Structure 1
Amino acid sequence: MARAIMLQGTGSDVGKTVLVAGLCRAARKRGMKVRPFKPQNMSNNAAVANIPGDKLGGEIGRAQWLQAIACGVAPSIHMNPVLLKPQTDIGVQVVVQGKVFGEARARDYQALKARLMDTVLDSWAKVGEGADLVIVEGAGSPAEINLRSRDIANMGFATRANVPVILVGDIDRGGVIASVAGTHLILPEEDRRMIAGYLINKFRGDVSLFDDGLKAIESFTGWRCFGVVPWLKAAARLPSEDSVVLERLASGEKRALKVAVPMLSRIANFDDLDPLKAEPQVEVVFVPPGQHLPEDAGLVVIPGSKSTICDLLRFRENGWDRDLLAHRKRGGHVVGICGGFQMLGRVVRDPDGIEGSVTETEGLGLLDVETVMEPEKTVRNVSARSVQFDLPLEGYEIHLGRTTGPDTLRPSAVINGADDGAVSADGKVSGTYLHGLFSADAFRAKLLENLGVKGGGIDYRAEVERALDEIAAELETHLDCDAIFGLAR
């Protein structure tokens, strides 16, 4: 087995994903063969990882896809063996080693977890093959002791795999001394022994002002501090991981083009918008429920959804259907991606009840197509081309359903040699199943030019690589990386 270390947080959204990505890049720059691993992730932002011998692919969390980039390796389904994709407030779709395993209510999943540990350890062994170091990301917090008996994501995994843990505390949200000391207090001794120390993340200002805080944590816990990480501005240039960040994306800086994105309740793969956000002249506004789509938006993008019919019903409840029609009357453009494409049609049917109890609902009617949900899920990386601009595209498909109708005779793209999507007669409404649509720099530049914005088309992938390099350099400066990497066993 490769040597390994694990980062666990005092709570959710403390910055573990970015820290693991940064440490992966730092280890790679030191010449190590490094891999990421997260036993269990919960997110509707999924990526496609190819499965050896399978013509399609498997799903993993977008975070592990980013961490694989940081390592300079292709993503593997084994980097995130259990992915939970929320479908309702109390239920999830369970993806195991890249494939849909089934659906479970929250209480039922707790019972299922014990059966998944062997699968997690199988993937763990495969990820470590040929690697010098594996950096593991926990999920949630080890302090959730009510879930400890069946845990596979934090201390349950760390104790079984014998991986030392560094605890991450987020000072930006306040109460970091209590959160670190409190975690020490309530952990059982077996789990407490796994923690080699802690680090503080998201510090703003003069770090010396926290010296007494560090002394207090040491007196309560006896744990060593591996460093204090400043607020990492470069993290804003990385792909979004999951819906926890949406509340911070609700508004942007006013620029030449405003792109409005309704925040669907089961929004999925909204990192599709990240390349547009990175464009200096583009303002991407995520519109929360209860607010109108802005009248000055030149483009409305309806993103993917884990539950198309449910989100379509909520779309109407919010009055966004009326806002969208008004946007069209003003001459505005609309793009629907995956579930958003399905919503733009005349009707969405789910005869087998795959998504829930509502088996049919009227669509938004901006494209003359209809969608029927089907049990087989398409999961694959693809090569594609824009029909409108005759330019290469890049991306992947993760979707259920088949869409047909007159407007599909005007496809928006060609994917692996087959027509995909649909375009309205006036060319201002389009839909596609292609995630990653805006990642192709030349296509994005041409699209923006068509919307009145010239000079777009930054090298988005290069921006991500530069951001990872900057974060790695910050971590080398502010953390004792020699001690962290030396801790691995």
Structure 2
Amino acid sequence: MVQGTTSDAGKSTVVAALCRLFKRAGVRVVPFKPQNMALNSAVTSDGGEIGRAQALQAVAAGVEPHTDMNPVLLKPSSDIGAQVIIHGKVRAEMNARDYHQYKTVAMGAVLESHQRLLAQYDTVVVEGAGSPAEINLRDRDIANMGFAEAVDCPVVLVADIDRGGVFAHIVGTLSCLSDSERNRIIGFVINRFRGDIKLLEPGLDWLEQQTGKPVLAVLPYLHGLYLDAEDAVQPVQSTKGAFKIVVPSLPRMSNHTDFDALRAHPDVDLQFIRQGEAIPAADLIIIPGSKNTRGDLAWLREYGWPAHIARHLRYGGKVIGICGGFQMLGREVTDAFGVEGAPGVSPALGLLEMATVLTQEKRLVQVHGTCAFAPDAAVTGYEIHMGVSEGAALAQPAFIIDGRAEGALSADGQVLGTYLHGLFDAPQACAALLAWAGLRSAYRVDTAALREASLDRIADAAQPLFDALMQR
């Protein structure tokens, strides 16, 4: 099991690297994360939903993503509540206190999935969540040491030296653990190191003397990786190209990995605009998916986006709405059942003649089709949404999926809406969508090739860790 001293210490990347290295060694390997809290998710081949990081790790392992790889997924809908997904399906909407009580039930699902994976694979590489030093979450823990203790699993502890304080992070984490938990840690990984390793060696010697545990590996800081983010938007902006795209960084934005292909395009300058930041002029505005459509609509209004979008369209700009962003393009969004919060109706942006009713059943499906405005351009993607949209705007679809119309394209050709996530991942669809928006470029982004190359890079860098583990 790979645990971290902090969130974003690099657990997901280390697990992906180990999965790729086990695969290279001919070992049947599978990733596993007992509990994940993330708004970036993926649809599995068995029709469920798991964290995006586990889908990436499955690619590294050379296996199809499956709901057993992430049996408990929490998708925050507010600061104190989240949608609880068990074995790929929505179980309930819970506040933090209720979920804490529910963990004993969730642990049953975790152990059930883990046993199934053990029966099918030679090696299971487990990823923890956050940090095992969260004292307030130790009771009924299913994500870190609670799981490791339950299945008697050895633990590697990862710390991020790029943030500073790496030795304090490690020693402090150990001090928060019980004796049996400390004994379970077989060694440390110092992640994201850049500089002269000779200058680090005295610190490594001190750490090993203080803890009695080895530093298994020091992993380098790797620039330019193309890997699906688990949750948070990476702070680096794409500022290479002349074609400007802006995306409102919604408080409950989901699946921002939709934009990875655009960020990798050399002719595109894509910027996420955060709360209170000035909204720049752009060629294209994309409203992303949302875990709380009505709440994020209110956020757009508070920060002046409707007026900016109207001005953008008057000057000939284009707008795309994805999933929840698509729902926001219509006349109104109704949540009669309180799916995402208090029941009610919210006026939407009024850019497409349609209305959306949020439903209690979530649609989860992988899709293939073509762009309606460019029939030779193939598109692939997946749908993750709770809601049905109806109205005259749907008579002019954006895509043809498995023979059915999907999404909407406005009569003036300026506004496009779709429920498809991953719509930019297929090179042909990405080129067609950018051409529709006004970019003429011969460059094609091959996201699959970029991902594979990055997985090989992190695996090569993690070879010393793999060798150290194999010697134990």
TM-score (norm 1): 0.94
Residues 142-153 of structure 1 mapped to structure 2, 5 A cutoff: 142-153=132-143
Residue number among 322, 325, 328 corresponding to 2:307 in the alignment? 322
Alpha-carbon distance change, 443 to 23 in structure 1, aligned in 2, over 3 angstroms: same
Q: CA deviation at 1:234?
A: 4.3
Q: Match for 2:469: what amino acid?
A: I
State the distance in 1 between where 2:214 and 2:133 align: 19
Residues 277-288 of structure 1 mapped to structure 2, 5 A cutoff: 277-288=263-274
State the distance in 1 between where 2:306 and 2:118 align: 49
Q: Match for 1:112: what amino acid?
A: Y
2:28 maps to 33
Residues 88-107 of structure 1 mapped to structure 2, 5 A cutoff: 88-107=78-97
Conserved 8 A contact 1:385-1:392: yes
Residues 375-394 of structure 1 mapped to structure 2, 5 A cutoff: 375-390=360-375, 391-394=377-380
Conserved 8 A contact 2:160-2:166: yes
1:300 maps to 285
Residues 53-92 of structure 1 mapped to structure 2, 5 A cutoff: 57-92=47-82
1:429 maps to 415
Residues 224-239 of structure 1 mapped to structure 2, 5 A cutoff: 224-235=214-225, 237-239=226-228
Q: Match of 1:264, SS?
A: coil
1:475 maps to 462
Residue number among 380, 390, 398 corresponding to 1:412 in the alignment? 398
Q: Match for 2:165: what amino acid?
A: G
Q: CA deviation at 1:358?
A: 4.7
Q: CA deviation at 1:98?
A: 0.4
Q: Which runs of 5+ in 2 are unaligned?
A: none
Q: Match for 2:304: what amino acid?
A: G
Q: CA deviation at 1:69?
A: 0.5
1:114 maps to 104
Residue number among 340, 343, 359 corresponding to 1:374 in the alignment? 359
1:445 maps to 431
State the distance in 2 between where 1:254 and 1:464 align: 20
State the distance in 1 between where 2:267 and 2:348 align: 32
State the distance in 1 between where 2:383 and 2:439 align: 29
Q: Deviations over 1:364-410 (max 9, x none)?
A: 11111111111111011112221011122101110011111111110
Conserved 8 A contact 2:132-2:144: yes
State the distance in 2 between where 1:234 and 1:123 align: 34
Residue number among 192, 208, 211 corresponding to 1:221 in the alignment? 211
Q: Match of 1:360, SS?
A: strand
Moved more, 68-77 or 101-110: 101-110
State the distance in 1 between where 2:356 and 2:260 align: 27
Q: CA deviation at 1:486?
A: 4.7
- Stretches of 4+ aligned residues off by more than 6 angstroms: none
Q: Deviations over 1:448-477 (max 9, x none)?
A: 23422311222221111111111111111x
Report the identity percentage.
48
Q: CA deviation at 1:219?
A: 2.1
Q: Deviations over 1:152-171 (max 9, x none)?
A: 00000001111100000111
1:15 maps to 10
Conserved 8 A contact 1:281-1:453: no
Residue 252, structure 1, aligned to residue 241, structure 2: no
Q: Which runs of 5+ in 1 are unaligned?
A: 1-5, 52-56
2:339 maps to 354
Q: Match for 1:345: what amino acid?
A: G
Conserved 8 A contact 2:49-2:88: yes
Q: Match of 1:12, SS?
A: coil
State the distance in 2 between where 1:387 and 1:449 align: 13
Q: Match for 2:353: what amino acid?
A: D
Moved more, 35-44 or 17-26: 17-26
